Amino acid sequence: MKPISPSRAFAAEQSFASETIEAAPARNRVRFLAIGLLVMLLLLSARAVQLAFAGDPTAEPRHGAAIAQVERADIVDRNGVLLATTVRAFTLTATPERVWRANETAAALARIFPDMDRDATVRRLSDRSHELVFLRRGLTPNQRDAVLSLGLAGIGFAQEERRVYPQGALAGHALGFTDVDRHALAGVELGLDDQIRRAGAEGRPVRLSIDVRMQYALETELDAAAQAAHASSAAAILLDGRTGETLALASWPALDPNEFAGASEAARTDRVAGDVHELGSTLKPFTEAMALQERLTSSGELFDLSQPFVLDGTTISDDERILGPASLRDILARSSNIGAARLALRVGADRQRSYLARLGLLAPPTLELARSQAPIAPTARTRRDIAGLGFGYGLAATPASLAGAYTIFANNGARVTPSLLMRLPDAQIRRTTVFSPAVTQQVLSYMRSVVTDGTGRAADVPGLQVAGKTGTAEKLGDDTYSQDHNFSSFAGVFPADTPRYVIFLALDDTGAGAAGGAVAAPAVARTLRRIAPMLGLRVEPRLPSH
């Protein structure tokens, strides 16, 4: 072997050095490219976390969640009290490859979230087939800080937005709710979804007509009445009859939209606009108004109601027998089925249906809620059907629809469409003429007698001039109506001398003897005593009981 000369060795070294220097930029470019791709993947992963969609706290992302990033506006009451808003929240995540001890990690998290399924969490933390798993949605900043203080390896967070309802269950059914990605699911959240999104983009709130003070009074009195009567459900609504604005509406059982996922089906059901019932004697004022409007009777006519009315094999009777001549005022004040049936037969099916349509009772309620229930309208036209409809059987409608019909007494015979949105001062209010002012005032005076001398005496509030009508509709079972199951209600208008406001309160599935005058009317009186000062109305102080 010949030795390498120093000069050749130097040349070879220089050649090697030159090749090394020339190759270095190429290798660096490869490294930078790899790092760039890694950063892009990490950013995409973070974005995927941000857009994660879930119906439960541990759900994986799914397509379409990006739509939810459109901001939702705050919802406020008529005075600006916050009812719904969007706040910052966090998603708890884990990278299984970085989790040291799955059992200990799950146990530590369970101390912060007692309802967390520990075994399921261990399985998710141990599943290394996923780079990232989602453990819980909607964490508050305090919950995030509590987890961070544990110093758990492989546990992280992604920031998100969460819809919250600061007033809890107050007006829960009216507001409705959204899922964890702020997709509207119920109430005005869904019924006004487009408007809420537009307002959010413009940075302004959506203002409802509700007054939280009246809402609280209505809800607490409805709750007390429902429990006292052992009702299965209940509903109440308060309207400004002149404008149609809904000042308060309540369904029982109550619903906290912050906790909708755990609510029962009974609690989720909106009883004001989403539940229909035969309304019973609260329809009698309309029957009298129809007969008066068509000049089929007069204020001076007297009726003999002393005997049951047998009609095509069906006997119609009154709860309290009326002896002696009875006027239209007596028929309403003492809630005579016989008198109402006879008047309805004079009106006839066609005119009866026409008036009911103009009263808004043959169409779904107009409130801006997602799932308003259509009525079960009368289809049969026999004499029995016409007579039964005269005292509230054969038509099933919502409490919201009935309250809307009663706005005629605040507008000289014209119906106003109810709304959950606050009206602008110069807003054009649509009115549908149903009865003449003279007929309307005449029937309203009879309704005042219901409260002063008739079945609705328990609704009287001295100084407030309440007019109204009680209702006790037996519920239909498999084949027959049952006296042991009633829909008990009271519909009121006040003040009767200058009518403006409408209230309707109903208790469902009350027992035998639980007439509307006994269970619903007192609840209305208690409610009106509380809200009258809020409306600028004076009531006489109650005298001490001893």
At which residue do the structure tokens 């800080």 appear?
A: 145
Question: What percentage of residues in the chain have a pLDDT greater than 90?
Answer: 75
Which residue, 306, 331, 347, is CA-closest to 443? 331
Total residues found in the chain within this entry: 546
What's the whole-number mean pLDDT along residues 161-166? Answer: 91
**φ, ψ of residue 253 in degrees (nearest 5):** -65, 155
pLDDT, residue 70, reads 60
What's the whole-number mean pLDDT along residues 434-455? Answer: 98
Decide if pLDDT at 341 tops 80.
Answer: yes
Q: Could you check whether the bond before residue 495 is cis, i.e. omega within 30 degrees of 0? A: yes
Report whether CATH 3.90.1310.10 matches the domain 65-207: yes
Q: Residue 543 — pLDDT band, cuts 50, 70, 90?
A: low
Are residues 379 and 402 in contact, defined by beta-carbon separation less than 8 angstroms? no
Give domain limits for the chain: 65-207, 214-535
Instruction: Say how far apart CA 228 and CA 510 lie, in whole Å.
Output: 10
Decide if pLDDT at 48 tops 70.
Answer: no
Decide if pLDDT at 453 tops 90.
Answer: yes
What's the whole-number mean pLDDT along residues 342-360? Answer: 97
pLDDT digits (tens, 9 = 90+) for 374-407: 999 988 789 999 999 999 999 999 999 999 999 9
| Structure tokens belonging to residue 362 | 């043959």
Decide if pLDDT at 232 tops 50.
Answer: yes
Tell me the DSSP string of 263-304: --HHHHS-TTTS--EE-GGGGHHHHHHHHHHTTS--TT--EE
Decide if pLDDT at 413 tops 60.
Answer: yes
Which residue, 341, 403, 349, is CA-closest to 377? 349
Are residues 345 and 365 in contact, defined by beta-carbon separation less than 8 angstroms? no
**φ, ψ of residue 389 in degrees (nearest 5):** -65, -25
pLDDT mean across residues, the chain: 88
- CATH (residue range 214-535): 3.40.710.10
Query: What are the catalytic residues?
Result: 281
pLDDT, residue 504, reads 99
At which residue do the structure tokens 């119920």 appear?
A: 186
Are residues 528 and 461 in contact, defined by beta-carbon separation less than 8 angstroms? yes
Return the minimum-mean-pLDDT range out of 151-155, 161-165, 363-367, 539-543.
Answer: 539-543
162 - beta bridge partners? 87
Q: Could you check whether the bond before residue 253 is cis, i.e. omega within 30 degrees of 0? A: yes
Q: Residue 12 — pLDDT band, cuts 50, 70, 90?
A: very low
> In this predicted model, which residue has the larger pLDDT, 408 or 141?
408
If one counts every other C-beta atom within 10 angstroms of the C-beta of residue 106, the result is: 24
Whole-model pTM: value is 0.81
pLDDT, residue 162, reads 87
Decide if pLDDT at 6 tops 70.
Answer: no
**Which residues touch 382 (CB under 8 Å, ≥6 apart)?**
312
Q: Do domains 65-207 and 214-535 have the same CATH topology?
A: no
pLDDT, residue 136, reads 92
